[in-house]
Amino acid sequence: MDGNNTAAKREKRRRQKEKSRVLILVGAIVSGSLVYYHCAYRGASVVSLISDVLIVLLCSLAILGLLFRQLTIQVPVDPLEWQISQDTANSIVAWLANTIGAAESVFRVAATGHDKRLFFKVVISLYILSALGRLVSGVTVAYAGLCLFCLYMLAETSQSVSQFLRGRNGNTDTSEQDIM
């Protein structure tokens, strides 16, 4: 009985994690689209973007504050209540350190010339990025990268969801998996 309860809790946490990942992706796409529109189509600078975002946040918070005061809803304004856990902070820093370390080791190996294939991959990637940067604006490249990243994360999430559904229905036929 305890094993089923633990498995159910674990499954519920996994579903919540997938839902939050999809919500983050949607938020990233919306934010990226707004930044792209503001900087690329309107031709505004990054300083203008930051000031517009701060103005919208300030006005939104003021309106919410007035609304909450009218509805007599208490809102915690103590920043100590908004802190993230130590585990979350450690995982964020560890992810950032691993990412930077991996990029540094790739460049180190490519620069020493021990791995010729890696060296040519890095050179070709940098050349393509350089040519792409000359053809289109940096905002367009950043937006395209954001969209590709979100599509990748969405595909990764949908694969785990489809694997979950196949496992839940008891369908372990590999011929169906080969078709996909």
CA–CA separation, 3 vs 6, rounded Å?
5
The mean per-residue pLDDT over the stretch 21-45 comes to 81
What pTM does this model have?
0.39
Res 80: pLDDT: 61
Q: Measuring CA to CA, how many Å separate 159 from each of 112, 122, 163, 175?
A: 38, 29, 6, 16
pLDDT at position 178 over 80: no
Q: What is the dihedral of CA 142, 145, 151, 157, to 10 degrees?
A: -100
Query: What is the pLDDT at residue 1?
Result: 53
| Cα torsion through 19, 25, 31, 35, rounded to 10 | 180
46: pLDDT strictly greater than 80: no
- Report the mean per-residue pLDDT for the chain: 75
Give the whole-angstrom CA distance, residue 111 versus residue 48.
Answer: 39
Reported as a single tens digit per residue, the pLDDT across 127-142 is 887 777 677 777 777 7
